[in-house]
Each structure stands twice: as structure tokens, then as C-alpha cells.
Structure 1
Amino acid sequence: MWIIIPHFTNSPHISRKQVDFLLWSKVIELILNKNHLTKQGFFEILSYYASINRGISNKVKKYFSNIIPANKPMKYLPENLNPQWVSGFVGGDGGFSLYVRPAKDYVLLEKVYCRFHIAQLLDDFKLMELFLKFFNCGSVSKRSNIATPRCDFIVQDTNYILDKVLPHFDSYPVLNLKQKDYISFKQCMIIETTMQG
């Protein structure tokens, strides 16, 4: 804990996980002070639990139905996103997609489309808008007709992908398996532009 908490205190999360971390840290402090061994401390921990992630589970709620969720601290967003953080975040919550749609003006009557996207819960809509600013392209939209409200940052325009998205990930690679997705995605973009040229 003496490594994890100082690290994320000095380099805080930017998404809604920032709030979860702050509440989780308070639980760790209660446990270290042995407050969890008291009834009052135990119920205080349950109040934090009810405010973290998806909240209190139905199983726990069955036994502790009167738990009141703790107040969530304010979440702060930076003015600009750090490029290394962006690549790391995309490694967890973003993706590079290819899909095929009918296209009457193409010889095979189908066209390959490329899309760069990031998905988050609706709570992080303001964060998605920072991606608009960072890449200087794309769109942010809210999903409808789903049980869990979500929002998406999407870049589908070929020129924007070539001019804004690819240069970023060439300079700041994704440091997990999604880097392989990116390489395939980039190769498809190159093939598409070569065929159109």
C-alpha cells in the first residue's frame, strides 16, 4: 500500500476511477487503523463500498439494506491530456476497428471502413470531450437504449485517422496486445489509401 497509494496520489486517474481510488484509499486507512474491527468502522467501510464502482451488490444489500452511500469527492480533469496517458488509456478502453458495409460504387459492392474509438460510462463525458481537443477531430456521442449509460469518442474519417490518429500512435505506442491491433489497423489504412490513390 505504501507504493500504490502514493503513486496514484501523485499521478491521479483522470477518469471516474479517480473517485473510486479516493474512496478506496479511505477504506485502506480505516483498515490500517483497525477501525474495521468496530461496528462503526465496518459500516463506514460499507458506505464507501456502496459508492465505489457499481455500488453495493444485491447479496450485501440483502443483509445491510440501510447502508447509505458515502458522498463522492469531486473529480478534476486536466486542461490537456498527456500523450503517453492517452496511449495507455486507449490500451485499456479504446480500440481500432475494421468493418465491411455495402457500397454500390465499389467493384465488390462492399467497402472496408476503419474506426478509432474509446468508450466510457456516461459519467466521463467531459473526459471524452478532452479527446476531441487532444486529437482535434472526431465526435463524442451518448449511447441510447442501453441499461448502462455510455458515451463514445469516435474517429471514422480516413483523412483524420491518417493525419491525426496514426502519427500519435506511431510516436506513442500502445504498450499491450492492442499494439498488434494498431499495426494491422494501420496496414489496412495504407492499403485503402493506396487503392483509392
Structure 2
Amino acid sequence: MSGWTNHPCTVISQEMIENEMGYRGSKSELVSHTNSVKEQRVDGSWCKKPLHLRCTLMGFERNYQIKIPSKQLNKQNYSTLSKTSLAFGNNKLNPWFITGFADAEGCFSFTIKPDAKSKLKWRSSPLFVIKLHIKDTAILELIKNTLMVGKIRKNGINSVQYQVESFNELQVIVDHFNKYPLVTEKASDYLIFKQCFEIVKQREHLTEKGLLKLIGLKSSLNWGLSDSLKEAFPNVTLVSRPEYKFNGIPDPFWVAGFTSGDGSFHLNIRKSETKISHRVSLRFSINLNIRDAEVLKGLVSYLPQANTLNKTSTGVALQGTLNQENQYVSKSNNTVSFAITKISEISEVVIPFFEKYSIQGLKSLDFADFKKVAMMIGAKEHLTIEGLNRILEIKLNMNKHREW
């Protein structure tokens, strides 16, 4: 089958930037000199020039008698809160969704800063953060309303973060992830974070022995020790990072949460080489660091198993196909990719799954457009000039080009 192919954070202030796409620890680092923020990866890649896609599409306007509606798009504001079955009540999330989203976007950190007023001259504090583009504030509101702790603060011009730093509120965070454990390599970050939290809880951080233990733990958390800490504590005993082992996908809502953070619903249109027409294709993908390859392999078999379609003859056959993981998971350097591009698999597995276990945030609108185009392809509408024009209009308003 040709259809499937193919972090860390050290807190210094309240500004975060993602320095490595691939690292599956807490991906964001708080820094004081930047307003950069990672947008949700809705199209699987970065685009420094927002008009790049539109220019690409205009390139084939002269080759085909279709009308590119780049100047005719209706601009509007969107709600980033999915109105489907994922939310129970009006403002609550399934707890597994929160864990999945934290696996994608969460940051478990521990700060150790100079403090002249402290007896040891150092102040220690744990911190849990999720930072997003401001357009996805609604997701953070849902998380805050569900956990009933934390604060949401604007950071810079286009970023907002959910932050839990109160010791009593952090106990809620620890209790949550103890009950609904993380699935990716970030689970190792959490185990270190929890040890630091327990040291503070027992007030051991107020002793020199406890402080040195915290510094040793911090050496294996996210980016490790800063140069200033290395200089101040050159003889500290470093702690090995806990061994990570993938234990399977725990719940379909975890998949929905993780995909809301790290998934990509992408639409591609390109000129056919064999005839005067255009090829329309869809791609659902997730890209991770190579350390989380087992997570993507797990998704290969989990999606059809969680889907009610596996009770039908089509579903059973599809499940057998999906289990051929090498066709759907590819590796390149330090990254691993999971991708579904065959329209039958998108229509019979991906779309039904996320109709039942909903995407949240602005990405839910990209999924809705993704689904709309899949239905048009199924009805052969993409083979007409009118249908192709409609698909082009959808593409020009998806992902990073969507107004919010």
C-alpha cells in the first residue's frame, strides 16, 4: 500500500520558546528575551511566510481554468471550543484528554534561583505549564475548569500559558498524573518532577542535603543544569534519567488530546503530470522524536481497534492492514512520523474516530474541513472545476491561514 508514509523546559522567567521540535520531553523553555510561541502543528511544518501557500497555489492558476478565490475568502472569527461529545457538562474535559494534551504540550519544570533572603541563598519551586498560541486559549480554559487549579496568563503578543505554581494546587496536578499517567517519553520528566515535588513537600529543600538532591535531580530534567548552577555546585551528584518504557495507549480520549496538540490534518493540491487536472490528497500525521517511536507504532494498531468499524468485515480487514506498521511509521534522523494518506483509511478509520473522540481547539475546525474534503473526494466532486474551486477555498483558509 502506498498510502501511508512516510522537550524540554528550564524555567528562567515567564517566556517560552521551543528549541527542538523533536524532543519529547517538556518541549518549551521559558526564557526572558523572546516572545516566540509554538503554534499548534496543524499542517505538520513551520511556515515563516504566511502567504507562502497562497503564492504556491497561484502558480498553477495560469495552467488551469479554475478561479483561485484568494481574494474572495470570507473572513470571520471562530470559537476554538469543540461542541461535540468530548466536553461533558459545558466546560469539562475527559481526564485522559488532559493527559494526552500534556503529553504533547505540557512542561514539567523545577526552578532553582538565587534568593538572598533564604537561609541557603537559593529558592526552589516546581512548576507545571502549558503554553499555546493565543488563538487556542479555549483549550487552556477547559483544562483549568476541569482541574480547578492554575492560572491563565497572556505572554507576549500572541501567546498564552496555563500555569500551576501554588504548592497546594500542584498536588492536584500530581494526583491527576498519578491516576492518568503520561504515555510518551515525557513520563520520565514527570517522575523527576514528582520526586522534586515530594522533597519540597517534606521541606527537605530547606536543608543543604535536600537542596543538593534537588540539583542532582534537575540535572536530568529537560535541558539539565544551567551554567550558573553548574558553576555554583560543581561537585553535585548527578541523577540518571528514569528509564522510559511505552506501555500502550490507555484510552481513546488520550489519542484525542495528543492529536489536538501534535496532530496534523493536511490538504494538498497539485498539478497532475499525466493530464490537465489536479490531484487532491489528504494526510493525517503525527511527528515525534525517535524516542517515541513505540508510541506511533502503538497508534497504528490502536486506532482501528478503538473504532466501532472493527466490528465489520471492512474494519477487520483494515485492522490487519494497519498492523503492518512499517507502511505507516517512517524514521528520519532523530524523528519518527506516523501518516495516513489513503482516502479509504481516512474515511473509514480516522474520521469516524475523531467524530467520536473529538479534537479540541482551532484544530477542530481544520479537522472539520479535512472531513468535508474527504466527503467531496468520495463523491468525486474534486474532479469538477466547481468542486476543485471549493476545495481550493477550503485549503486557503485552513491551518495557519485560518482567521481567528
TM-score range, shorter chain: 0.7 to 0.9
Whole-Å separation in 1 of the counterparts to 2:378 and 2:287: 27
Of 187, 192, 195, the residue aligned with 2:377 is 192
- Say if 2:331 is the partner of 1:178: no
SS in 1 for 2:266: strand
Whole-Å separation in 2 of the counterparts to 1:74 and 1:142: 22
One-letter amino acid of the counterpart of residue 139, structure 1: Y
- Root-mean-square deviation (Å): 2.3
1:13 alignment partner in structure 2? 182
One-letter amino acid of the counterpart of residue 376, structure 2: I
1:31 Cα offset (Å): 1.3
- Segments of structure 2 that go 5 or more residues without pairing to the other structure are 1-169, 304-318, 384-404
1:47 Cα offset (Å): 2.1
Deviation track 1:69-91 (CA, whole Å, cap 9, x = no partner) reads 42233334334542111111101
- Say if 2:301 is the partner of 1:116: no
- Say if 2:218 is the partner of 1:33: no
What is the 5 A alignment of 1:14-163? 14-58=183-227, 60-61=229-230, 63-64=232-233, 66-67=235-236, 69-108=238-277, 110-135=278-303, 136=319, 137=322, 139-144=328-333, 149-163=334-348
1:12 Cα offset (Å): 0.3
Whole-Å separation in 1 of the counterparts to 2:171 and 2:290: 32
1:139 Cα offset (Å): 1.0
**Percent identity over paired residues:** 26
Whole-Å separation in 2 of the counterparts to 1:61 and 1:140: 39
One-letter amino acid of the counterpart of residue 172, structure 1: Y
Structure number with higher helix proportion:
1
SS in 1 for 2:171: coil
SS in 2 for 1:132: helix
Over 3 Å counting, the alpha-carbon distance change for 1:99 and 1:46 in structure 2 is farther
One-letter amino acid of the counterpart of residue 152, structure 1: S
SS in 2 for 1:176: coil
Whole-Å separation in 2 of the counterparts to 1:67 and 1:133: 44
Q: Which moved more, 1:35-44 or 1:123-132?
A: 35-44
- With CA pairs under 8 Å and 6+ residues apart, which has the higher RCO, 1 or 2? 2
SS in 2 for 1:117: strand
TM-score by length of 1: 0.85
Whole-Å separation in 1 of the counterparts to 2:227 and 2:250: 37
- If you compute each CA radius of gyration, which structure gives the higher value, 1 or 2? 2
